[in-house]
Amino acid sequence: MLFRSLQLTNGYANLTSEAVINDGNWHCVSVTWDGNIAYMWIDGGLSATAALGGFNITNQFTSIGGYYDGSSWTGYFDGDCVMKFVAINSIIYTLDDAQSLYNNFLPIINSTNLLLSLDASTYSGSGSTWTDSVSGRNFTLYNSPTWSPNNGGYFTFLPSSSQYALCPSSLPTLSNWSVEAWHYYTGNN
């Protein structure tokens, strides 16, 4: 599992876990950055840490399914990825938070600290906008990811079709943050 963040001065920073998540099951992935150290939890367990002083997700594109390398879109999922929910908070998740997310199959909804919330169950079934229910940072769906109403609603992003979602407006500058996502992945880790 790879989480990539743009460092405005040093290129990309990666947080990588060796956990196997392409097993045909839903997984909860949470990433937290406290300003110095990044943590990744998968299904409520700590899966990776790294000292990444400039590991920032703010003042840049926020995308799902691919990333912009400065000249073109690249880095698509290596296999089909199904996304159900994505949220960004301006707080640091603890191990208890990560375990609660996984055990309850629910996102952390804290209106004070929630910056972005994408829930596939709220999608209308047509159009190219995945609506952010918190701040209006709506994501545009490119190359027609498939939406299904099954299992509470989800999007499938196919790398063979260069499918991704992009938020054109940046997040505020944060000294720490957390990202959570529920997904089902069929490709290589």
Q: pLDDT tens digit string along 8-46?
A: 445 566 677 777 777 878 888 888 888 888 888 888 888
Closest to 4 (Cα-Cα) out of 84, 59, 93, 68: 68
Q: With bands split at pLDDT 50, 70 and 90, how would you rate the model's confidence at 141?
A: very high
Q: Residue 189 has what pLDDT?
A: 45
Q: Residue 120 has what pLDDT?
A: 92
Q: Residue 113 has what pLDDT?
A: 83
Listed in sequence order, the residues at least 6 apart from 145 whose beta carbon sits closer than 8 Å to its beta carbon are: 65, 155, 156, 157, 158, 163, 164, 165
Highest mean pLDDT among 80-89, 143-152, 174-183: 143-152
Q: Residue 13 has what pLDDT?
A: 64
Q: Is the pLDDT higher at 48 or at 53?
A: 48
pLDDT of 58 > 80? The answer is no
* Residue corresponding to tokens 């004070």: 112
CA–CA gap between residue 66 and residue 157 (Å, rounded)? 10
Give the Cα-Cα-Cα angle 72, 20, 4 (nearest 5 degrees).
30
> What average pLDDT does this structure show over 1-8?
48
pLDDT of 7 > 60? The answer is no
Q: Residue 79 has what pLDDT?
A: 60
Pair 129, 122: CB distance under 8 Å: no
Mean pLDDT score across all residues of the chain: 77
Q: Residue 61 has what pLDDT?
A: 59
pLDDT of 187 > 70? The answer is no
The model's pLDDT over 100-128, given as tens digits with 9 standing for 90+, comes to 888 876 655 556 788 888 899 989 889 99
Number of helices (H), then strands (E), in the chain: 1, 16
pLDDT of 145 > 80? The answer is yes
Residue positions counted in the chain: 189
Q: Residue 74 has what pLDDT?
A: 65
pLDDT of 64 > 70? The answer is yes
